[in-house]
Chains A and B, each alone.
Chain A
Amino acid sequence: MTRFQIIAIRLLLLALVLAAWETLPRNNIVNPMLLPPLTDVLKTLIQIVQRAQVQEAILVTAAEVIVAFIIAVPLGALIGVLIAEYEYAGQIFKPLLFYVFSVPKSIFLPMFILIMGIGFQQKVAYAAFSTLFVVIMSATAAVESVKADHVLVARSYGATRMQILTRVYVPSMMPILLETLRISMIFNFTGVMIAEMYASRTGIGHLIANWGENFQLPQLFAGVILLAAVAITFNEAVRFLENRVSAWRT
């Protein structure tokens, strides 16, 4: 199977799905109240992005996502690196981190709300909180992935700590760091969405929840498509970078 054939088949599958989305509701095979035809959804999408209310919501969500990311990533990276560097700390905290993962962090959302209300701060704080742990784990994994051999070689040639950091650690970790960014963003975005859907007066998540409650399906689907498109675009962009940097990775 050549690359071309693979891409062609995928496009074909996509076309089939989209075609079904259009024809099944239009011909009443599927209830159009529950699944608005694709073209209706797309028309609605174009309408809503021109509305001031929606544009504001997008900006609010974007701001929350970015700020939470800027908080969680450096903090998580720092903690993760410390855990990786100090083995004792690692032995203590790593098992705890694993348990943290199986716990739904959304259960702490009410706490954030009780303390901070339902505004911008609370959503950023919650999203940063839920992203923090995956950043920590990934950072730890990234540092540990640097092969001890490479470090040893560098040291035996008299490299200083700074040189080892920049010439061995950073290039070694680059692919994982990019993957970390990608996965952290997924977690971050999800955190913001949950906070907005749960209790908020602003943001796209809130709008979507609203549209759902009021049974405005075309708008709801439009919003979902918009968000999905943004999420996938970001994901693929980072993945592209990841692949470029990790050609050497064994």
Chain B
Amino acid sequence: MKRPAPSTVRWLILAALLVFWELFPRTGIIPELFLPALSKVVVVLARDWHEYASELAVTLYEVFFAMLIACGCGILAGALVGGIALLRNLLLPVFSSLYAVPIVILYPIFTAWFGIGSQSKIIFAGVYGFFPVMLSTAAGIRTIDEQLLLAARSMGATVPQQIMRVIIPASIPTVLTGLRLGGALTIIGVVVSEMLTSSAGIGYLVTRYRTILDSPHVFGAIVMILLLSIMFDVLARAVERRTAVWQTAGRKQREVEEPIGRAAPAPV
């Protein structure tokens, strides 16, 4: 018997999960408190669409600005620290040690400083995303093949031309990875901080409805967050794939110290 394609199996698994999600709570195998039936969740989402949408808007607003911080600073810092040997030797180990600290413990400090509104979440999620993006960019910058720069120089390229025509195009795959990572992490950071202390946002909905034991609403919010992160990931990976061939993976590509955290960004 020929094996079905892996992607088919995946879809089957997902379909099965959805079916179980509907049946198990209905038949009482799992109490509805723990896991409300899928149909109930969908109904709740449809009915209270307005509430979910407006909280989602808050979350997206926060994610956007947090991304600006995390990706803007992260990519820039990563390019500098990764590209300039002096900075790299000096600072990179320091940054990767700091990565070991659970950033989430800083969140109470941010709420003390900035209150429980959007500002503290933006800053927290920005910081949360900063380190992995910086580390990833620093690693990626070093994969730019030096030979390309030598070739450009041999053709008489001036320094501005080398930057514009070689370094920048060659960096695009790394930058895109940084954007994907930063986006994923800031979504996570915003959701976590909204869950912890907040008065708005999708994460806040999760907490609010949990405390009144309204499981369908809790799961409605969970589903929204799942959809948000998965859609972002799919989109980002699609964009990244188009430029994957630009990765100058020459024979001389150096073994760069990549934290496993490059593929697995966030401890959350």
**Interface of A toward B, CB cutoff 8 Å:** 1, 6, 9-10, 34, 88, 91-92, 95-96, 98-99, 101-111, 113-115, 130, 133-134, 137-138, 141, 179-180, 182-183, 186-191, 193-194, 197-198, 205, 208-209, 211-213, 215, 217, 220-221, 223-224, 227-228, 231-232, 234-236, 239, 250
Pick 28 A–B contacts, CB within 8 A, sort by A. Answer: A1-B90, A9-B90, A88-B3, A96-B10, A99-B230, A101-B266, A102-B184, A102-B232, A102-B265, A104-B188, A106-B192, A107-B206, A108-B222, A111-B34, A114-B210, A115-B34, A188-B267, A190-B104, A190-B267, A193-B105, A194-B196, A197-B105, A197-B108, A217-B112, A220-B112, A224-B109, A231-B101, A235-B97
**Interface of B toward A, CB cutoff 8 Å:** 3, 6-7, 9-10, 13, 33-35, 86, 89-90, 94, 97-109, 111-113, 184, 187-188, 191-192, 195-197, 203, 206-207, 210, 213, 215, 218, 221-222, 225-226, 229-230, 232-233, 255, 259-261, 263-268
The residue in B108, B111, B184, B268 that gathers the most chain A C-beta atoms within 10 A of its C-beta is: B108
CA distance A99 to B103 in the complex (A): 22
* Contact of A114 with B268 at beta-carbon distance under 8 Å, contacts A183-B260, A212-B112, A227-B105 already known: no
- What residues of chain A lie closer than 8 Å to B265, measured between beta carbons? 101-102
- CB proximity of B169 to chain A, nearest CB, Å: 26
Contact call B218/A110, Cβ cutoff below 8 A: yes
- What residues of chain A lie closer than 8 Å to B215, measured between beta carbons? 114
Name the contact of A232 in the complex, choosing from B100, B106, B206 (C-beta under 8 A).
B100
Name the contact of B10 in the complex, choosing from A92, A186, A191, A211 (C-beta under 8 A).
A92
* Contact of A212 with B111 at beta-carbon distance under 8 Å, contacts A92-B9, A114-B210, A191-B267 already known: yes
* Contact of A110 with B206 at beta-carbon distance under 8 Å, contacts A102-B184, A104-B188, A183-B261 already known: yes
Contact call A109/B195, Cβ cutoff below 8 A: yes
- CB proximity of B8 to chain A, nearest CB, Å: 9
- What residues of chain B lie closer than 8 Å to A91, measured between beta carbons? 6
Name the contact of B99 in the complex, choosing from A107, A186, A215 (C-beta under 8 A).
A186
- CB proximity of A84 to chain B, nearest CB, Å: 14
Name the contact of B100 in the complex, choosing from A103, A113, A231 (C-beta under 8 A).
A231
Contact call B10/A234, Cβ cutoff below 8 A: no
Contact call A10/B229, Cβ cutoff below 8 A: no
- What residues of chain A lie closer than 8 Å to B233, measured between beta carbons? 98-99, 102
- What residues of chain A lie closer than 8 Å to B102, measured between beta carbons? 186, 189-190, 193-194, 227, 231
* New contact pairs (11) apart from A138-B260, A220-B109, A228-B101, CB-CB < 8 Å: A10-B90, A102-B229, A103-B226, A109-B195, A110-B207, A114-B34, A191-B267, A197-B107, A212-B109, A215-B112, A221-B109
- What residues of chain B lie closer than 8 Å to A96, measured between beta carbons? 10, 13
- What residues of chain B lie closer than 8 Å to A92, measured between beta carbons? 6, 9-10, 13
- CB proximity of B13 to chain A, nearest CB, Å: 8
* Contact of A236 with B97 at beta-carbon distance under 8 Å, contacts A34-B112, A180-B260 already known: yes
Name the contact of B106 in the complex, choosing from A182, A205, A224 (C-beta under 8 A).
A224
Contact call A235/B100, Cβ cutoff below 8 A: yes
Name the contact of A209 in the complex, choosing from B34, B90, B97, B108 (C-beta under 8 A).
B108
Contact call B196/A209, Cβ cutoff below 8 A: yes
* Contact of A103 with B230 at beta-carbon distance under 8 Å, contacts A114-B33, A194-B104, A224-B109 already known: yes
